Amino acid sequence: MTPETEPQGPLAEDIYAKRLAKYEDTKRWYFAQRAKKAVDALQKHDFTALYTETGEEARQEILKLVPAGATVGAGGSMTLRQIGIVEDLKKRGHKVYDHWIPGLTPEEMVAIRRAQLTCDVFLGGANAITLDGQIICCDGVGNRVSAMTFGPGKVILAAGANKISKDLQDGLRRLRDVAAPQTLKEIHLSLPCTETGYCHDCDSPQRPCRATLILERKPFFTDSTVVLIGEALGY
């Protein structure tokens, strides 16, 4: 088709609109297929796992999972903030230990992080979740990876389908070259990865990549739920 014979006017707009709609349908299909495979694998590894198509659906599911009156720890997760669950729980009257509140002193931030280890429910994200049911997270302080393994009675992790990786090697690559550079750029750290966009395994004293957790199975004594969301969320 030459430029002279290409559709013009309303016909062209209709064709392009249908193509864009098809694109969105295809992306949802892709995310859903990968998420459902990961959910099956997580369930075989003793996690409670579920898939929601949207962040709004995930928010509603998480609200159902948090018991009335429970104290809640909010880990450092952009996904949690994007779906609005942290503010929802505050409005519902829960005591929420949130170290992202502006204006906190360093001492207050440490105290809140410690409280996250013994709260009733801990909410967090993940840097990668593999198709074969492994969860990968990295921390600089360690409150998130600690709370995910033992302490809170219930752990709920929310992750967009963009976090799904083929296997452990791919998940670790995603952590280093996708999640870390973007997360650290957002908080304005001057590191090699925030200059180039990929990991250099640096020796910088500011380096926050200090504790990497790989959950291969649900830890004993912790009620762990993973909510995979059919949208690109977080880093």
In this structure, the number of other CB atoms found within 10 A of the CB of residue 11 comes to: 10
Annotated domain spans of the chain: 9-229
Instruction: Give the mean pLDDT of 163-183.
Output: 97
Residue-wise pLDDT for 108-160, tens only, equals: 999 999 999 999 999 999 999 999 999 999 999 999 999 999 999 999 999 99
User: Could you tell me the pLDDT band of residue 4, with boundaries at 50, 70 and 90?
Assistant: low
Q: Give CATH for domain 9-229.
A: 3.40.50.10420
pLDDT at 192 over 80: yes
Q: What is the DSSP secondary-structure string of 175-229?
A: IIIIIHHHHHHHTT---HHHHHSS------TT----EEEEESSPPTT-EEEEEEE
Residue-wise pLDDT for 16-51, tens only, equals: 678 877 898 999 999 999 999 999 999 999 999 999
Mean pLDDT, the chain, rounded, equals 94
